[in-house]
Structure 1
Amino acid sequence: MPRTARQFWIRTPGRGEMVTSPLGPRGADQALVRALYSGISRGTESLVYRGEVPPSQHQVMRAPFQEGDFPGPVKYGYSSVGEVLEAPDQPERPLVGRHVFCLHPHQDFYLVPAGAVHVLPDGLPPQRAVLAANMETALNAVWDARPSAGDRIVVIGGGVVGLLVAVLCRRIPATRVTLVDIDPSREAVARGLGLEFSDVAPAGADADFVFHASGNPQGLEAALSVAGIEATVV
């Protein structure tokens, strides 16, 4: 078992560093994980790195295994995929040697309760599994909106979350889903996922549901412009 772990900490806004800290002994109910991939949220973690998390959101935005507090020093992150090296003996749920997802900050080895890791389905590439946190966001957005068969749906913003929202909506029978992004290079990905693509807000879209996933005020304006009467904008 490793005795130390390398961790990424934000010391002050705009200044991060790698820190090596002791790794304590494994508890009877804990799993030891060796990180393989660690996803970085371009939106949330950029805010954290710049020290721009509003004081009113400090508790809301805490990550499950965060250490420290905003604006810093803080160890933050929530998208780690790794391999379990040691774990409790659970014949009904063997973990050792399995690839798992965990809502853990950026760290090469870590100890967490065994119940905090989620075994990846067979055949899922570990590097792709870092998108699990983004998929959770996308799925909650779709659940909140509750689109149904035959709805006209527009997604503004072709980043990871926007693409995942669009793919989930596309699976609803008879929906027409259009992904809008000002970056034309994202068209190939959208088409590959079976989505319609536009680099401008489509005129006369009269959408039943609009998802704003661009993180840009102009994107919100575009979302409102394509919404039909009594449409839902998320």
Structure 2
Amino acid sequence: MAWAYWITGPGHGEIRPVSVPEPAADEVLVRTLRSGISRGTESLVHAGRVPPSQYAAMRAPFQEGDLPGPVKYGYLSVGLVERGPDELVGRTVFCLHPHQTAYVVPAGAVVPVPEGVPVARAVLAGTVETAVNALWDAPPLLGDHVTVVGAGLVGCCVARLAVGVPGVRVTLVDTDPGRAAVAAALGAGFAGPDADPGHSDLVVHTSATGAGLRRALGLAGPEGTVLDLSWYGDRPVSLPLGEAFHSSRLTLRSSQVGAVAPARRDVRSHRDRLALALDLLRDPVFDVLLTGCSPFGELPAVLARIAAGELPGLCHSIDYQEP
């Protein structure tokens, strides 16, 4: 027997008991240590704002139930393998599994967490994987100016990876001046809502707002690319494509982590990409993105507060080691 978080309907969730089967020879029993909340996607799922046309596309690995609910949803889980193949027993692993105290999955569904990556930081693996895929979709070139609009968790992860490219200058843009300190810790510059960071060769948009995407288009230099990582759910977005979009020959493209970027699809699997993300998390600077933690029993209230905008921060994680 274990316990899992279920979204029971728009704006409501609860913790329910679930049965955990005996693991087969090619499966593992994982006891959860931490899970992370994906603020953007999980807030939209919690609020029932996933368009019906996207129910299948937004289905999470090991999801139970169907959108809009009741549904068991989530995908940032770190735990300890208690039973399974000898090489995995006792290992800390990452799995794209919903919020649940224990679960059984195929052994191939878990990726060991490297030495030197603490459990708390390992919950960022899914988000860093999104950032890796984005920079595979639109890799910055030497000497580029990369601007990231939206200093949320995804935007910060993109910025941290981009600053590692030699000669690349990175600026984070956000309406919250408090994110300037985070940007500095990540090695990036910062621009507030009224500042002009200058035209960019590559603009990555992660704010999940129409205003943010419009600003991203305005920051792209001639022949520049705007890469949109945001997902808007059922909200329409209007863009000023009658301005410099055509005369500057701008490119607006999407990036989504559900598929490996075409540039690497023939040589990297989803597992390879996730293993790379976990390896990149050896960088202790990512700890600046861990801004809150609550015990599992408080998850229904925590997710409701996040969805309502009442609990600000970057990565809020759930601790399963407290009663």
Specify the TM-score bucket, using the shorter chain as the normaliser: over 0.9
Provide closer, same or farther for how the CA distance between residues 135 and 118 of structure 1 changes in structure 2, counting only shifts above 3 A: same
Match of 1:107 in 2: 100
CA contact (8 A) 2:7 2:72 kept: yes
Match of 1:185 in 2: 178
The answer to whether 1:165 aligns with 2:158 is: yes
Q: SS of the counterpart of 1:127? A: helix
Structure with the bigger RCO (C-alpha within 8 Å, sep 6+) is 2
CA contact (8 A) 2:143 2:166 kept: yes
- Which of 25, 33, 43 lines up with 2:22 in the alignment? 25
Q: SS of the counterpart of 2:124? A: helix
Q: CA deviation at 1:221?
A: 1.5
Q: Deviations over 1:51-83 (max 9, x none)?
A: 111111111110110011001111011000011
Match of 2:138 in 1: 145
1:1-234 aligned within 5 A: 4-89=1-86, 94-200=87-193, 202-203=195-196, 205-234=198-227
Question: How many angstroms apart in 2 are the aligned matches of 1:233 and 1:145?
Answer: 9
CA contact (8 A) 1:78 1:103 kept: yes
Q: CA deviation at 1:205?
A: 1.1
* RMSD over equivalenced CA pairs, Å: 1.1
Q: Aligned partner of 1:103: which letter?
A: L
Q: Deviations over 1:149-191 (max 9, x none)?
A: 1011110011111011111111111111111111111111111
Q: SS of the counterpart of 1:43? A: helix
Q: CA deviation at 1:125?
A: 0.8
Q: CA deviation at 1:115?
A: 0.8
Q: Deviations over 1:32-52 (max 9, x none)?
A: 001011111111011111111
Query: Unpaired runs of 5+ in structure 1?
Result: none
CA contact (8 A) 1:211 1:233 kept: yes
Q: Deviations over 1:208-228 (max 9, x none)?
A: 000011111111121111110
Q: Deviations over 1:126-151 (max 9, x none)?
A: 11111111111111111111211101
Q: How many residues align?
A: 227
Structure 1 residue ranges, 4+ long, deviating more than 6 angstroms after superposition: none
Normalised TM-score (structure 2): 0.69
Q: Aligned partner of 1:208: which letter?
A: D
Q: CA deviation at 1:202?
A: 4.4
CA contact (8 A) 1:180 1:201 kept: no
Question: How many angstroms apart in 2 are the aligned matches of 1:11 and 1:135?
Answer: 29
Q: SS of the counterpart of 1:82? A: strand
Question: How many angstroms apart in 2 are the aligned matches of 1:14 and 1:152?
Answer: 40
CA contact (8 A) 2:171 2:197 kept: no
Q: CA deviation at 1:200?
A: 2.7
Query: Unpaired runs of 5+ in structure 2?
Result: 228-323
Q: SS of the counterpart of 1:19? A: strand
Q: CA deviation at 1:96?
A: 1.0
CA contact (8 A) 2:191 2:197 kept: no
Question: How many angstroms apart in 2 are the aligned matches of 1:172 and 1:97?
Answer: 36
Question: How many angstroms apart in 2 are the aligned matches of 1:31 and 1:16?
Answer: 27
Question: How many angstroms apart in 2 are the aligned matches of 1:182 and 1:129?
Answer: 28
Q: SS of the counterpart of 1:83? A: strand
Provide closer, same or farther for how the CA distance between residues 204 and 184 of structure 1 changes in structure 2, counting only shifts above 3 A: closer
Q: CA deviation at 1:25?
A: 1.4
Question: How many angstroms apart in 2 are the aligned matches of 1:203 and 1:195?
Answer: 15
Q: CA deviation at 1:204?
A: 6.6
